[in-house]
A and B are shown apart, each in its own frame.
Chain A
Amino acid sequence: KAGVTQTPRYLIKTRGQQVTLSCSPISGHRSVSWYQQTPGQGLQFLFEYFSETQRNKGNFPGRFSGRQFSNSRSEMNVSTLELGDSALYLCASSPLAGGTTDTQYFGPGTRLTVL
């Protein structure tokens, strides 16, 4: 099976712009989670989608949003970019309900740089 794929792999944006990142989960996986990784804060949970519904949300401002499509692919959007949004954004998928008993599989990430 193909792994979790994320596009694009690298992005450079300027402050105030918006950006959309895409994640394709492993075939058959219905849960998709997003994480932000920075050197100072480590890995922080953004949100999780399951069957096109947001099931969990982390402590991030409303500028961060996401959605999931009927084929389980997911996108996240960041509006009005700030310098502090520079990070590695990771997507993870899991087969069923996620979290309690399922292994999560991570994609390679999208490296976002905000200038």
Chain B
Amino acid sequence: KQEVTQIPAALSVPEGENLVLNCSFTDSAIYNLQWFRQDPGKGLTSLLLIQSSQREQTSGRLNASLDKSSGRSTLYIAASQPGDSATYLCASPAGQGGKLIFGQGTELSVKP
């Protein structure tokens, strides 16, 4: 049974800093891993999806990596901005179909 964990629950950094968010999963037979962003009271915005055959994906200032052997994924945010402040969630499919298992999220605050 897949379990997904995100540590820390909250992170505060000054503007301009590069940062890494962590995601751990228990089942290395992972299909893919998806990173989302959620602003307060809003829905989820998909940021990056890494297939099991890939090691990383990049979009703008974001880079996500996947290491199945260690059961870890990281989301790297370069040159953070106050607009990056949000909760970041990672999720993995629980087998076939549309069921995603989510971590509890990391609440990021970027201070001007």
Q: Is A105 part of the contact surface with B, judged by Cβ < 8 Å?
A: yes
B residues near A88, Cβ cutoff 8 Å: 41
**1/0 contact string of B38-75 vs chain A (CB within 8 Å):** 00011111100101000000000000000000000000
**How many contacts A-B (CB < 8 Å)?**
83
Q: Is B36 part of the contact surface with A, judged by Cβ < 8 Å?
A: yes
B residues near A43, Cβ cutoff 8 Å: 89, 91, 100, 102
B residues near A31, Cβ cutoff 8 Å: 97-98
Chain A binding surface, main DSSP class = strand
Contact status A50-B97, CB under 8 Å: yes
Q: Is A97 part of the contact surface with B, judged by Cβ < 8 Å?
A: yes
Q: Is B81 part of the contact surface with A, judged by Cβ < 8 Å?
A: no
Contact status B31-A101, CB under 8 Å: yes
B-facing residues in A39-56 (Cβ within 8 Å): 42-43, 45, 48, 50, 55-56
By a beta-carbon cutoff of 8 Å, the part of chain A in contact with chain B is 4, 6, 31-33, 35, 42-43, 45, 48, 50, 55-56, 58, 88, 90, 92, 94, 97-109, 111
By a beta-carbon cutoff of 8 Å, the part of chain B in contact with chain A is 31-32, 34, 36, 41-46, 49, 51, 89, 91, 93-105
Given A35-B100, A99-B93, A104-B46, 13 additional A-B pairs, CB 8 A: A6-B43, A31-B98, A32-B98, A45-B94, A45-B99, A48-B97, A50-B97, A99-B95, A100-B93, A102-B98, A106-B36, A106-B44, A109-B43
